[in-house]
Structure formats: C-alpha cells, structure tokens
C-alpha cells in the first residue's frame, strides 16, 4: 500500500471500498465524493475522511488532481498515533481545512513530487498532516449534509447557459453538490425523468422557441441547442413533440 499518492479521478462515477483508512484532499480541478450518505465537492479547503471498508462514490472533471493519504488501521511503524487514527477515522465525513493546513498540503505535495519513491518521506509527510489535522479538529467544522432535493431553478439556469454544448451528468451533479449516482436517483424521483431525458427536453424546448421566433436554418438551430447534427435534432424533436421541426415551422408560418 502506497502511503501518499497524487491521483486523477475518473470522469465516469465509480465506487469502491478498501481495508485501510484514507484521507483525500483536492489539489486541482473539481472532484465529487459521497461517503456515509453525504456528498461534497473536494477542493483545497476540504478533506474527505474515509474509514476502512467504507464504500464511497467519486468522480472528477478533466482537470482534477487529488492528494491521497492511505492509513493502515494499525500503524506497525507508529508514524501516526493510534489515538489520532481512532479519532479522525471514527466516522466518515468532511473536514474544513484551515489556511495553515492548506499550506501544509501545498508543501507536502511539493516535497512528495521531488521524491515520489521515498516512502519514508511519504510516511513522515502523512504523519505530520494527520497529527496537524487532529490538533486542529476543534476549530474545523464538518460539512453539513445537503438537502436531498434538486434546486430546479438553478439547474435550469445552468442547462440553458450551456445548452449549445455537451452537458455531462457530472456537471449537473456538481451544480447541485451531489455525487453523480446520488443526483441521478434523486433527480429521477423528483422530476420523473432521467437527467439525460431532461436535458434533451430542454434542448427541444429551446429549438421550438427558435423555430417560432427566428428564420434560422435547421442546421444552425441544431448547433445552438447542442445537437451534433440536424438529423439528431429531427429525431429528438419528433420524439418529444410528435412532429418534425420542419412541420412545426410550417404550421407556425401558416397560423
């Protein structure tokens, strides 16, 4: 088991557990974690504490980078005090990192990058950070659990702003501060559609508006509403509306 690692999370949501404790801190980009039923974005201001054998979901954007500290349940080398391990990993959750702790993360990443094969250095860096986190625990707040409800007005604004391009479920989940798997389940329950169906419906709705209010050619409307080509717009429009874009425009012009 590698004590310290700098990794990139997959963009596709994943889930696993492992027989050792883990502390994860965001370095670059956006990452989402869900552990113990609580989802949160990770960045330089938050660390995620994952106890041994605790299932957790995770995903990241294309630029994400995380610092991972793997901690054995029993440290045979005694780099980390058993009291520190027991208290920090008693429950899954998120810790807000104070500015000094953020600086310590930055220094640790720099030092580890200079000698990534030096596991003795890695162990000392991990121990220093975990002990500092332990002693700062009284001034660090747990991230409260977000409400398990989609804020549709905010989500609609995000989708409409980005309608001309591909929108991933990771981006939608990030907008609501949920993990992709949690977001998908809550969204389907609340809205009655999958996130994919919802985005398609919004694209068609905007295409309908453009057909009714402009003389733009169909190929341009397809591009503006995020369809890769005109035939994709035709299929989606007919599936949602029951008729083709051309038939809709002719009807509008005749009325």
Structure tokens at 107: 């220094």
What confidence score (pLDDT) does residue 254 get?
Answer: 73
Predicted pLDDT at 75: 61
For 65, the enclosing helix (H) or strand (E) is: strand 65-71
In the sheet that holds 93-96, the strands lie side by side as 4-7, 65-71, 21-28, 46-50, 93-96
pLDDT of residue 252: 85
Which residue positions in the chain have pLDDT lower than 70?
75-78, 137-148, 255
Instruction: From 9, 98, 95, 109, select the one nearest 67 (Cα to Cα).
Output: 109
Q: Which of 135, 77, 79, 129 shows the shortest CA–CA distance to 108?
A: 129
CATH superfamily of 4-139: Regulatory protein AraC (2.60.120.280)
Domain ranges of the chain: 4-139, 152-254
Distance CA 131, CA 121 (A): 15
The whole-number pLDDT of residue 185 equals 81
Selecting from 2.40.110.10, 1.10.10.60, 3.40.50.10420, 1.20.59.10, what CATH number does the domain 152-254 have? 1.10.10.60
pLDDT at residue number 76: 59
Residue 182's closest CA among 147, 212, 133? Answer: 147
Q: How far is the first Cα of the chain from the last one, in angstroms, to the nearest whole number?
A: 71
CA distances (Å), origin 140, targets 24, 83, 91: 16, 18, 15
Q: If we measure between CA atoms, which residue out of 30, 24, 14, 13 comes closest to residue 48?
A: 24
Output the pLDDT for position 227: 95
């Amino acid at each position: 088991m590698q004590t310290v690692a700098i990794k990139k999370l997959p963009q596709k949501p994943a889930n696993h557990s492992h027989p050792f404790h883990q502390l994860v801190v965001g370095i670059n980009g956006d990452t989402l974690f869900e552990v113990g039923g609580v989802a949160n974005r990770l960045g330089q201001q938050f660390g995620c504490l994952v106890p041994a054998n605790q299932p957790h979901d995770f995903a990241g954007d294309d630029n994400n980078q995380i610092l991972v500290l793997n901690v054995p349940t029993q440290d045979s080398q005694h780099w980390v005090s058993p009291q520190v391990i027991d208290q920090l990993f008693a429950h899954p959750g998120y810790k807000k990192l104070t500015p000094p702790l953020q600086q310590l993360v930055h220094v640790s990443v720099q030092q580890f990058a200079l000698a990534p094969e030096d596991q003795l250095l890695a162990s000392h860096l991990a121990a220093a950070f975990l002990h500092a986190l332990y002693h700062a625990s009284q001034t660090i707040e747990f991230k409260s659990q977000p409400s398990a409800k989609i804020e549709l007005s905010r989500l609609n604004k995000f989708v409409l702003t980005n309608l001309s391009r591909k929108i991933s479920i990771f981006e939608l989940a990030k907008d609501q501060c949920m993990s992709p798997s949690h977001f998908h389940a809550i969204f389907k329950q609340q809205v009655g559609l999958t996130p994919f169906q919802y985005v398609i419906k919004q694209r068609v709705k905007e295409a309908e508006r453009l057909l009714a209010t402009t003389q733009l050619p169909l190929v341009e409307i397809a591009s503006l509403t995020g369809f890769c080509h005109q035939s994709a717009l035709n299929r989606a429009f007919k599936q949602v509306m029951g008729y083709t874009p051309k038939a809709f425009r002719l009807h509008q012009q005749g009325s």
